[in-house]
Every structure is written in structure tokens, then in C-alpha cells.
Amino acid sequence: MLGIIGAMDVEVNGIIEKMENPEKRTISNITFTKGTISGTECVVAKCGIGKVNAAVCTQTMILTYKPDRIINTGVGGATSDKTHIGSVVIADKVVQHDFDTTALGDEIGTLFLSDENIKYLLCCEKLCKELENTCSALADIDYTVGTVATGDRFIATTEDRKLLNSRFNAVACEMEGGSIGQVCYINKIPFCILRSISDDNSGDEGAHVEYSVFVQSAAEKAIEIITAYIKSCPTD
């Protein structure tokens, strides 16, 4: 079973609408929709914005539905010259840029798990390659593979975007993927992050204005890719 998680309605409703025989179940105030798309069994959930919401959703999905892989989909902000409004990012690794114990001598972003300390969480190579192949097969999809930086803050300034790029070599930022990745890593579930860029600070109005203008079209592009991926990906 494929698990799909997005933070907002605009990121998941278009996927849920394509489901056959949908079954809804609400756990911890999160609605999970199980069904099939193009013969592939899927479960889709809107987790809500932020790392804690994303972690609760991911762990609940894993325990309840036992997906064999999870994709976090949605929109994100550009943090590199390689990414811009309308482009797509496939994560090969994720980092939590706001996890900061540097005062104790640790590298910023270092996570403390039960049996190891780790900074970057690697995405599943197979999932990443399948999403690359999907993007390559679609018309007019400009995509980049790289690091996605996650934190509980909307990144709104050019200075902050450049800092994430210089500090982590991040090509995109958002607020859920690193948390979803951590839960998947702990549970040994293959995962990947797909983000369609909705803001890049290129306009004079500011990132929050770009986001409000482009979030719908960016989310639709991500949904198009996820739907095409499901049609072409193996069902095992």
C-alpha cells in the first residue's frame, strides 16, 4: 500500500477525488482515506501544517494502515538558483533546519534518535528514481533532485532562503517533510518528498504574496505528478 501525506486540502483533495471505493476513517482528528487509484491501493491523509502534525499523522498511518512506502507531497519554497515558481523538487534527503543544539557543540540540524545521532535523513533511492522517471515522462516538468529543509517557520526572506542553501545545500524548504522522514526512518518505511515550488522571493510583493497567488497551481502540478506516478509505479 502506498501512503500519501499532504499538509493542506489543496495538496490532497485532488488525489482523493481520483480514488475508487474510498473508505474514510478519522483518528486523532486526522481523516485517512483508503482506496485504489489505477489499481494501486493507497491511503491519503491531510496532516495539517507543521512538524508535530506531520509526525502524528505519519505514525498513525504506519500503525493503522501499514503502508510499504510513503510519499509526502505538496508545495514548498525555493532556496536555490536551481528552483523557482513552477519547478518541482524531488528530495534525495531531508534535514530539519530548526533543530538547533549548537550551544552544546552539535551541528545544526542534528537529530537525536534512540540509537544514533543523524543530520540528514536519506530518501528511498528507488522512490526518488521512480518520481524522476515520472517527471521526465510528463510534458513541461522542470524538476531538481536535492535536499529539502524542514522547519516550523514559513521562510519569507531572501536572506533566510540563502542561509538554508549555504548551510544545508537545500534546494527547497517546507514545514513537514523532515518530520515525516524521521518517523519513516524510525519505522524503516521507505519515503520520499515531492514539492512543487509556490514561492521564491523573485517578486517585489514578497513570498507570502507569491504563495497566495501560486499555491493552487503548484499543488495541482504535484497532484498531476503523483497521479502519473501511481499509474506507472509497481503495486508490490
Cite the DSSP H helix spans in the chain: 9-16, 51-65, 125-137, 158-168, 177-187, 207-232
Confidence of residue 201 (pLDDT cuts 50, 70, 90): low
The three-class DSSP label of residue 177 is: helix
The span from the CA of 169 to the CA of 167, in Å, is: 6
Active site residue 81: no
Nearest to 54 by CA among 15, 3, 13: 3
Active site residue 204: no
Mean pLDDT of all residues in 61-70:
98
Catalytic residue among 11, 174, 176, 210: 11
What tens digit of pLDDT does each residue of 147-166 get? 999 999 999 899 999 999 99
- C-alpha cell at position 37: 487509484
Residue 200: which pLDDT band, with cuts at 50, 70 and 90? confident
Tens digits of residue pLDDT in 97-142: 999 999 999 999 999 998 899 999 999 999 999 999 999 999 889 9
> CA-to-CA distance for 202 and 66, rounded, in angstroms?
41
| Beta partners for residue 40, in sequence order | 37
Q: Is the pLDDT of residue 210 over 90?
A: no
Average pLDDT over residues 78-87: 92
Q: What is the length of the chain?
A: 236
Query: How far apart are the C-alpha atoms of 8 and 68, rounded to whole Å?
Result: 23
For residue 64, the tally of other CB atoms under 10 A from its CB is 13
Note the pLDDT tens digit of each residue in 177-186.
999 999 999 9
Q: What is the pLDDT of residue 204?
A: 47
Q: Which of 130, 199, 200, 210 is catalytic?
A: 199
Measured CA to CA, the distance from residue 135 to residue 224 in angstroms comes to: 10
Q: Where is average pLDDT lowest: 32-36, 167-171, 188-192, 197-201?
A: 197-201
- What CA–CA distances, in Å, run from 227 to 17, 25, 165, 223? 11, 22, 30, 6
Phi/psi for 200 (5° steps) reads -145, 10
